[in-house]
Structure 1
Amino acid sequence: MAQSTITLDILTPQGAKRSGLEVPGVEVPGIAGELGVLPDHVPFITPLIPGVIRFREKDTSQRLAIGAGFLEVTRDGRVSILTERALTVDEIELTKVHDRLKEVNAELGKDSGPIDAIEHRKLVNEQRWLEAQIRAAAS
């Protein structure tokens, strides 16, 4: 018999943001674009980029900003989002986020010589994380 919900877990190194939620589906930021997972999805694992995840909890639309991580879908309908960080809309401090994004963009736009690849990647990852928070709060 077809399932009507998936069991969603959103896990960070600091602990579970959500655990055992029964939801009709979830949208996540995959490396090739937005990815939707519905009940009876084929099992798989895929990397995630910083962005916004969306799902319905009871009758309410929920959004969380997440950092880079992985999505795992199991045979039994469990969907786990393993991410380096996650914030609910209520936890996002937009003024601080906008201020930090200006700093990161300025650093990326500096013409003070080359920055190494590792530093550039860190700045771009932080830029994406900050932009994800803005999108989550604005949606």
Structure 2
Amino acid sequence: MMFRHVSSRLLSRSLRRSLATEVAAEGGADEAFVTAWKKTIANIEPPKTPLSYMKTRPPTPPTIPTKLTVNFVLPYASQLANKEVDMVIVPATTGQMGILPGHVATIAELKPGLMTVHEGNDIKKYFVSSGFAFVHANSIADIIAIEAVPIEQVDQAVVQKSLAEVTQKLSSASTDLEKAEAQIGVDVLSALNFAVSG
């Protein structure tokens, strides 16, 4: 907000256009932005861009690698870090999505469901509540989930009991808020029940 306020006061409309045009013409990289900024506003340090806070990703390889590198993180922990696997299947909102090495760059929203990580004959299963999968062109997948638990740690009897309780709450809900909260519970617990029983 501060940057927009300062830049709009300091730059005329034509200077803003030329700054944007120069950066776009040079590919939009941080260096191009800084160069264009310094040409236009020499007495103010340029703001940091998101690229300055990110680690450099390896380039897209000329051939498809044999392994997919996966980072699977939660807000409070990292489940997998730079783990090389054969395939990951995530519960995208559009359906189950398999991610293999060489997958096209994609961003997918996750819904409650089963995520599987395949490494040879070993398959690790997690239940994820929601989140996003970011698949990069260089065969790296970053999967960010709000909550996740290894499926073997889930007690099916507890899930079924909880599902019955929230289903009852849904049928007896009187306000829109109660109905929405109960519906979320039914959706998540139904998906969890399906994951542990299948």
What interval of TM-score do these two structures reach, taking the shorter chain for normalisation?
A: 0.7 to 0.9
Give secondary structure in 1 for the equivalent of 2:96. strand
Moved more, 125-134 or 43-52: 125-134
Which string of whole-angstrom CA distances, capped at 9 and with x for unpartnered residues, describes residues 66-123 of structure 1? 011111011221111111100102221222211111111111122x53x22x543333
Whole-angstrom CA distance in 1 between matches of 2:92 and 2:104: 16
Change (3 A) 1:17 1:135: farther
Change (3 A) 1:71 1:121: farther
Q: Which runs of 5+ in 2 are unaligned?
A: 1-62
**Aligned residue among 50, 54, 63 for 2:116:** 54
- Provide the TM-score with structure 2 as the length reference: 0.62
Whole-angstrom CA distance in 1 between matches of 2:68 and 2:136: 10
Q: Which residue number in structure 2 is paired with residue 122 of structure 1?
A: 181
Which string of whole-angstrom CA distances, capped at 9 and with x for unpartnered residues, describes residues 6-43 of structure 1? 11122111211222221111111111211111111111
Q: Which residue number in structure 1 is paired with residue 168 of structure 2?
A: 106
Letter in 1 for 2:124: Q
- 2:103 is aligned with 1:41: yes
Deviation at 1:126, TM superposition (A): 2.5
Whole-angstrom CA distance in 2 between matches of 1:128 and 1:58: 32
Change (3 A) 1:67 1:125: same
Deviation at 1:136, TM superposition (A): 2.7
Is the Cα–Cα contact under 8 Å of residues 66 and 86 in structure 2 kept in the other structure?
Answer: yes
Whole-angstrom CA distance in 2 between matches of 1:72 and 1:123: 30
Letter in 1 for 2:167: N
Change (3 A) 1:127 1:17: farther
Is the Cα–Cα contact under 8 Å of residues 118 and 124 in structure 2 kept in the other structure?
Answer: yes
Moved more, 47-56 or 14-23: 14-23
- Provide the TM-score with structure 1 as the length reference: 0.86
Give secondary structure in 2 for the equivalent of 1:63. strand
Give secondary structure in 1 for the equivalent of 2:137. coil
The CA RMSD measured in Å over matched residues stands at 1.8
The answer to which structure, 1 or 2, has the higher relative contact order (CA under 8 A, 6+ apart) is 1
